[in-house]
Amino acid sequence: MPRAIVQERLDAIFRSMERAHFTDARHAVLFKPGRYDLDVNIGFFTQVAGLGALPGDVVIDGHVHAEADWAKGVALVNFWRSVENLEIRPKDGSDRWAVSQAAPYRRIHLRGDLVLDDGGWSSGGFMADCRIDGVVRSGTQQQWFTRNSTIRAWSGANWNMMFMGTAGAPATSFPDPPYTNIPTVSRMRDKPFLHVAAAGDWQVFVPAVRREAEGASWATGLPSGRSIPLSRFFIARPGMSALQINAALRRGLHLLLTPGIYSIDRPLRIDRANTIVLGLGLATLLAKGGSKVLTVADVPGVVVAGLLIDAGEILSPVLMEIGPRGSRRDHRADPISLSDIFFRVGGANIGNATTCLEINSHHVIGDHLWIWRADHGDRASGRVHVGWSESTGDQGLVVNGDDVTLCALFVEHFQKYQTLWNGERGRTYFYQNELPYDPPSQAAYMAGTTRGWAAYKVADHVDDHQAIAMGVYANFTADPTIVLESAIEAPDKPGVSFANITTISLGGGKGTIAHIVNAAGAAARPGAIKQILVRYPVP
């Protein structure tokens, strides 16, 4: 394709998506193996990905970047975009990825520096399976999670920066600077990706589970895994019904969802072991009639990746269910995995859900989840759809399964517990939470006789749980006098521990978090807006 035609198309997509915060449009820009001289500016609801087996099979001589020019450099709402599986060679030696939540930077070889802000505040973010030949400069990023990558160096820190299995990352020094570094990732399955084989056949590559993983999966060539011919996938398009999609799943097909909005009036049912569900261009499943959107049976090896899931106007008790309640099977040899799964309750439309994601199966792996009850909408278009009684959600995540491991967990603005963990031997590596902005009063925000609902609740019966690198932030704009008793509530048992936690009263002190874990830790409040706790139980 002539360069001018490709660049013109890229620029047209970006112009339409630069400010399109709550649009229904979705785009996937896919590059076949080769070399391209382009400037790829990525706006909302746009995925840019290479179709090679390795990142170096698709080379961009130029920039593949996210900017915040539209918001005068403030990237706090630069959500819902991604770049994957490319080698990028910026001619000036540096690229920019100024984003906040739900904007993964995956499987990239960047031959230069990477800047993670655009001058104003940003609230990211996630990078995995990458090689950055230069320095990563985090700038104003409030928090960031990097795993299984190689970087030359890292510069900058604000509240919570975590690295796992990343060569070149700074050593643990929390809280000054607030770095947490774990040398390996205990178990991880990287996100599957679409690629074109040398013979021209289209396939989806599904990486194998790695254990005690260090560095990028592709550092020495194609990683372990399997390629599945696209002929074994049902290729769904917007307008297709859940009935049609389920019929294809029952025939034993995998599922590839092309970009767009899918109205789901009955759950998509993943009942067969090792089924792959892959969304392109932030394919969006919108609940209708109070339905669940997607359910996974208690079977091994299922992979769900690259989806945005929206609550509908009628209350859904659960939007996505991994295993039915009471699941008991052991999946440690071939776990279910979830990658780049994002949820919205409100914002784009009126949304109501009791729980967004419920994990009942054991040994599930989560790799980058953002579960969001909207704190804002699109005033310019009149699509606001936020409010304490308009778009409601009790909790973002409930974990009932045992041995669940979650990396890069973002849960925000729910009206009761943000995260409720009932399973044993749970592990969370990096947690970001903003409490709801909109409780109208303390009386409306009480967990029985306790002031407020914890941002992270481990049930009293749990004996073994660990979480590390956690940030919990209050911004009670509707009533700044509200107090949350504890950011984290958990049983005081030898097997339950937390490390490297930050609490902040945002906006100069809009609300108070009285304690960090249970009764430990000083209050984040007006006049003392930031508090830290290095470990709990406190020595």
CA distance 257 to 259: 7
Tell me whether strands 27-31 and 530-536 are parallel, antiparallel or unpaired.
unpaired
Q: Which residue has the tokens 């819902």?
A: 80
Positive or negative torsion for Cα 385, 359, 504, 143:
negative
Return the structure tokens found at 270: 């993943």
C-alpha dist (Å) from residue 461 to 394, 423, 457, 488, 539? 21, 9, 12, 15, 23
313 is catalytic: no
Cis peptide preceding 175, ω within 30 of 0: yes
CA distance 199 to 500: 50
Tell me whether strands 446-447 and 450-451 are parallel, antiparallel or unpaired.
antiparallel
State the catalytic residue, choosing from 358, 434, 485, 489: 434
Q: How many C-beta atoms surround the C-beta of residue 222 within 10 A?
A: 13
CA distance 95 to 536: 39
Count CA atoms within 13 Å of residue 136 on its CB side.
31
Is the Cβ–Cβ distance between 30 and 66 less than 8 Å? no
CA distance 245 to 237: 10
Q: Which residues are catalytic?
A: 434
